[in-house]
């Protein structure tokens, strides 16, 4: 990839990865068609399709529409060859409990960004009456939801989604206290309500789910991806550009909007469009702490770190969600960045220029951060490990090039 001039222009953002994955698991809860529009073409979606088919579902993809029909369940096991590869596989735990009251599932894999246990998922389902047994690296869960209230010790996104999936067809009312408030949890609830579920308190810390007898099919628009949008906004800020990103909901940007405006960029959100007009050299965001929504998203920590490399001043970032998520620092230092890490904090001192480099990506959002760093460098940079990008970015080259960058994927020779 080559250094970009300031990014300019307009881009429609892809559908959200973290919204569509639980929606695809939710399709297991009905025998009828679930039609998802604006579905991103990313590898995590393909993996979800593979598992749905293995469980007995029929899945069709027509451009950005995915149609899922699971009129029969053939299997209740999600083994390691499927689950070991991606974190969202854990959502089949709640969905299969909801549909059949029985599941055997391997521990989920996913990006290497620190420890990612599933204890909150398991203890919550257990508290709600599901029998959990852990053997041979597989979790076996049996029974339907009978409990009425669960308190989460941390607002885990995946655990909240699993409880919802397991509870929407329960015989009783379930209250989740301390639920994650992320927009992706809200869109899952909206999808389920459009299928006949009865979920109240959407967007809040307390969700009330009144179990219904059955769910029907639906047609639903996957919302725009707030993390992809934030990545491109940061690429514009890092290069002193001016862009518009369409296809978003303003409220989804909580946490990132204020932080990004501290770079001196002028920002406006109108209709479904985010306008970002940055200044030539961004000001450093002095202090940033990642946290559960509506705090600054951990998934934008690497991209903002990269966007701060040439900023005016010092930027201090504290990572509270995945304390070890600083894999890209070593790569950024190769480029002449002035960064120091201390436990779960990082301090970036803005420098005058960044050198191009041969960089190695080891996970999705870190890879996106390296792309931003490459855009800031004085010359061509090469990044390996770009398969990680495909997990969440439909086509980062297409998107950045449409904003004036020069980024391409080279054939492996
Ligand atoms: N946690 C536990 N026990 C659990 C579950 C979570 O200790 O049982 C801890 C995790 O270790 C982590 C924190 O709680 O420290 C947050 O984890 P959470 O469960 O909220 O995350 P997740 O559901 O596994 C989703 C996204 C992630 C995103 C996080 C936080 C999906 C498929 N993934 O993961 O997205 O970082 O929420 O917002 O929705 C990404 O897109 O790059 C990505 C990693």
CA-CA-CA-CA torsion sign (292, 215, 130, 151): positive
Using CA atoms, how far residue 260 sits from 181, 232, 277, 403, in Å, is 21, 12, 11, 19
Query: Which residues, in sequence order, are CB contacts of 275 under 8 Å at separation 6+?
Result: 244, 266, 267, 268, 269
Residues 6+ apart with CB under 8 A from 258: none
Per-residue burial over 108-147, b = 16 or more CB atoms within 10 Å of its CB, e = otherwise: bbbbebeeeebebbbebbeebbbeeeeeeebbbbebbbeb
Q: What is the pLDDT of residue 86?
A: 87
For residues 255 and 264, what is the distance between their CA atoms, to the nearest angstrom?
Answer: 16
Strand 131-135 versus strand 149-151 pairing type: unpaired
Q: Could you tell me if 236 and 276 are in contact, meaning their C-beta atoms sit under 8 angstroms apart? A: yes
Cross-strand bridge partners of residue 266: 277
Q: Rounded to the nearest whole angstrom, what is the distance from the C-alpha of residue 194 to the centroid of ligand 1?
A: 26
Q: What is the pLDDT of residue 340?
A: 97
Helix axes 17-26, 43-55, angle to 10 degrees: 10
Count of beta carbons in the 10 Å neighbourhood of residue 72 = 10
What does the CA dihedral 340, 386, 117, 149 come to, rounded to 10 degrees? 110
Q: Which two tokens stand for residue 358?
A: 């041969």
DSSP H or E stretch at residue 46:
helix 43-55
Residue 364: the pLDDT is 95
In this structure, the chain runs to a length of: 413
Q: Which atom of ligand 1 is nearest to the CA of 155?
A: 20
What is the value of pTM for the model shown?
A: 0.97
- For residues 347 and 340, the answer to whether their CB atoms sit within 8 Å is yes
Number of neighbours of residue 265 by Cβ within 10 angstroms: 21
Using CA atoms, how far apart are residues 160 and 109, in angstroms rounded to an integer? 19
Phi and psi (nearest 5°) for 222? -70, 130
Rounded-to-integer distance, Cα 393 and Cα 235, Å: 14
Ligand 1 atom 20: the closest Cα is on which residue?
156
Please list the pLDDT of the chain residue by residue as tens digits (413 residues). 655 589 999 999 999 999 999 999 999 999 999 999 999 999 999 999 999 999 999 999 999 999 999 999 998 899 888 888 788 999 999 999 999 999 999 988 766 666 678 999 999 999 999 999 987 789 999 999 999 999 999 999 999 999 999 999 999 999 999 999 999 999 999 999 999 999 999 999 999 999 999 999 999 999 999 999 999 999 999 999 999 999 999 999 999 999 999 999 999 999 999 999 998 899 999 999 999 999 999 999 999 999 999 999 999 999 999 988 999 999 999 999 999 999 999 999 999 999 999 999 999 999 999 999 999 999 999 999 999 999 999 999 999 999 999 999 986 54
Q: What is residue 111's predicted lDDT score, i.e. its pLDDT?
A: 66
Quote the CA–CA distance of 174 and 177 in Å, as a whole number: 10
| Measured distance CA(26)–CA(35) in Å, rounded | 11
Is residue 111 annotated as part of the catalytic site, yes or no?
Answer: yes
3-state secondary structure (DSSP) of residue 133: strand
Query: Which of 374, 301, 288, 294 is closest to 332 using CA atoms?
Result: 374
Q: Quote the pLDDT of residue 153.
A: 98
Ligand 1 first shell, C-beta below 6 A? 17-18, 21, 87-88, 111, 115-121, 154, 156-159, 180, 184, 298-299, 321-322, 364-365, 392
Nearest CA to ligand 1 atom 12: 321
Q: Ligand 1: which of 16, 18, 165 to mutate, judged by most atoms within 8 Å of the beta carbon?
A: 18
> Which entry of 31, 39, 111, 189 is annotated as an active-site residue?
111
Pairing of strands 273-277, 266-270: antiparallel
Residue 285 backbone zone (phi > 0: left; psi -120 to 50: alpha; other: beta): beta
Name the residue at shortest CA distance from atom 25 of ligand 1. 157
Residue with token string 């970032």: 317
């Amino acid at each position: 990839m080559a250094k970009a001039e300031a990014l300019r222009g307009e881009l429609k953002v892809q559908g959200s990865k973290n919204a569509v994955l639980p929606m695809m698991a939710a399709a297991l809860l009905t025998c009828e068609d679930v039609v998802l529009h604006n579905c991103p073409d990313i590898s995590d979606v393909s993996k979800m399709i593979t598992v749905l088919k293995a469980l007995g579902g029929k899945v069709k993809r027509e451009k950005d529409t995915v149609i899922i029909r699971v009129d029969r369940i053939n299997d209740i096991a999600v083994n390691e060859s499927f689950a070991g590869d991606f974190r969202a596989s854990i959502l089949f735990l709640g969905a299969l409990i909801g549909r059949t009251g029985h599941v055997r599932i391997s521990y989920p894999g996913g990006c290497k960004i620190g420890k990612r246990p599933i204890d909150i998922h398991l203890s919550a389902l257990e508290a709600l009456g599901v029998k959990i047994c852990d053997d041979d690296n597989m979790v076996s869960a049996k029974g339907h939801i009978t409990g009425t209230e669960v308190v989460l010790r941390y607002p885990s996104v995946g655990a909240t989604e699993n409880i919802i999936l397991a509870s929407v067809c329960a015989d009783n009312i379930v209250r989740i206290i301390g639920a994650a408030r992320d927009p992706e949890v809200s869109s899952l609830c909206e999808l389920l309500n459009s299928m006949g579920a009865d979920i109240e308190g959407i967007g809040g810390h307390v969700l009330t789910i009144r179990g219904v007898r059955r769910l029907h099919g639906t047609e639903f628009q996957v919302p725009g991806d707030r993390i992809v949008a934030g990545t491109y906004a940061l690429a514009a800020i890092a290069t002193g550009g001016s862009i518009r990103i369409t296809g978003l909901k303003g409220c989804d940007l909580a946490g990132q909007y204020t932080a990004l405006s501290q770079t001196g960029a002028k920002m406006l959100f109108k209709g479904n469009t985010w306008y970002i007009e940055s200044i030539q050299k961004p000001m450093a965001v002095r202090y940033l702490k990642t946290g559960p929504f509506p705090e600054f998203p951990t998934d934008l920590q690497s991209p903002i770190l990269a966007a701060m490399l040439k900023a005016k001043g010092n930027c201090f970032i504290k990572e509270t969600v995945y304390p070890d998520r600083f894999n890209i620092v070593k790569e950024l230092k190769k480029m002449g960045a002035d960064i120091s890490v201390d436990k779960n904090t990082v301090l970036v001192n803005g420098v005058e220029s960044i050198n191009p480099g041969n960089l190695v990506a080891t996970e999705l959002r870190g890879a996106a951060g390296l792309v931003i760093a490459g855009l800031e460098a004085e010359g061509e940079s090469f990044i390996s490990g770009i398969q990680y990008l495909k997990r969440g970015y439909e086509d980062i080259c297409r998107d950045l090039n449409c904003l004036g960058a020069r980024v391409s994927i080279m054939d492996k020779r």
